[in-house]
Structure 1
Amino acid sequence: MELTVDKDLENATLTVTATFAHPLEKVWELYADPRKMERWWGPPTHPATVVRHELTPGGTVHYFMTSPEGEQFHGIWRVLSVEPHVGFTADDFFADAEGTPVEGMPTTHMDYRFEATDGGARMVCVSRYDTTEELQKTLEMGMEEGLAGAMGQMEAVLAEG
């Protein structure tokens, strides 16, 4: 897998591009199958558990990541649009265990696109924030390192067949 992360502070966006030597259908399943998703979504030190998985327009994906100390960090996707094997859009926000947004924390507006390539597939995610300050806050929380660590686990899940 080849991974690039581009920060655009001026436009408050973070663009992640991952290229895989695996078929598009298998890459799509990393998001569409909650059991596969939870094996890579959190960084290695904060594994994810998917509580609810409705990757459909108007659906909700509720997950939490568990720290080495056992603390849980919940997140919710409000799914806006889905076109299987092509892409989806969702708003991702920090939440409590009941799914209520955590006040003062940024919302990530995610736009995922998937495409077949010669010999594999490419996934591009543009994460947009309402302000540059919100993007900066997530970067200071370790978002870039967390993304790289989490996505670095995708290959092992894809290799299983």
Structure 2
Amino acid sequence: MIEHNGTNEKELVITRMFDAPRELVFKAWTEPDHLEHWWGPKGFKMNVSKLELCPGGIFHYSQKSPDGHQMWGKFVYRDIVAPERLVFTNSFSDEEGNTVRAPFSPTWPLEILNTLTFAEHEGKTKLTIQGGPTNATEEERNTFEAMRDNIQQGFAGTFEQLADYLSKV
């Protein structure tokens, strides 16, 4: 499925079925005690600095690599319909929560708008994430598009961690 985000750019759409009830999958995305167990690259230590689950609220976190490198990121929530949908912008940040450039690319978009939908099906949850740059320059949109395969691989790994975590809670 390919969607357009109003700028004629294709959004990235990833769908994954999880063997867990929708309420639990939604909580895994919205509660610090769950997020710290699975969000981020494999092998990284996750720390939730702040999570305010409301429109305009912020999820501010850090991730530390096995070699000690620390990165900060944040979500700014736009819309929350528990347990059906989450809409937020995602960006890299500094320790204070200010939006900063990605450490790996000076042309990575500052903000990615994400819409997550959670659909219950026979006790399982179909999660669909749609996302793409927002308020981005043409160069930033091109960088995002060039990294599409890497983004999909990253989410595949993160979703594997989520599936593993959900099987244990």
Provide the TM-score with structure 1 as the length reference.
0.84
Deviation at 1:138, TM superposition (A): 4.7
What's the Cα RMSD here?
A: 2.3
Distance 1:146 1:110 in 2: 15
Distance 2:60 2:147 in 1: 19
Q: % of aligned pairs identical?
A: 25
Partner residue of 1:88? 86
Query: What amino acid does structure 2 have at the position aligned with 1:154?
Result: L
> Do 1:40 and 1:47's aligned partners in 2 also have CA atoms closer than 8 Å?
no
Partner residue of 2:168? 160
Partner residue of 2:145? 136
For residues 17-56 of structure 1, give each alpha carbon's deviation from its aligned partner in whole angstroms, at most 9, with x where no partner exists.
Answer: 1111211111111112112112111121323221111121
> Do 1:12 and 1:135's aligned partners in 2 also have CA atoms closer than 8 Å?
no
Query: What amino acid does structure 2 have at the position aligned with 1:155?
Result: A
* Structure in which a larger fraction of residues adopt strand: 1
Query: What amino acid does structure 2 have at the position aligned with 1:135?
Result: F
**2:22 counterpart (21, 24, 27):** 24
Distance 2:94 2:147 in 1: 17
Query: What amino acid does structure 1 have at the position aligned with 2:164?
Result: A
Distance 2:154 2:65 in 1: 12
> Do 2:12 and 2:132's aligned partners in 1 also have CA atoms closer than 8 Å?
yes
> Do 1:111 and 1:125's aligned partners in 2 also have CA atoms closer than 8 Å?
yes
> Do 2:3 and 2:11's aligned partners in 1 also have CA atoms closer than 8 Å?
yes
Provide the TM-score with structure 2 as the length reference.
0.81
Q: Is 1:147–2:155 an aligned residue pair?
A: yes
Q: Which runs of 5+ in 1 are unaligned?
A: none
> Do 1:13 and 1:135's aligned partners in 2 also have CA atoms closer than 8 Å?
no
SS of structure 2 residue aligned to 1:152: helix
* Number of residue pairs aligned between Structure 1 and Structure 2: 155
Q: Which runs of 5+ in 2 are unaligned?
A: none
> Do 2:119 and 2:126's aligned partners in 1 also have CA atoms closer than 8 Å?
yes
Residues 66 and 137 of structure 1: is their aligned pair in 2 closer, same or farther, counting only changes over 3 Å? Answer: farther
Distance 2:157 2:124 in 1: 21
Deviation at 1:6, TM superposition (A): 7.6
**2:118 counterpart (114, 117, 128):** 114
Deviation at 1:156, TM superposition (A): 2.2
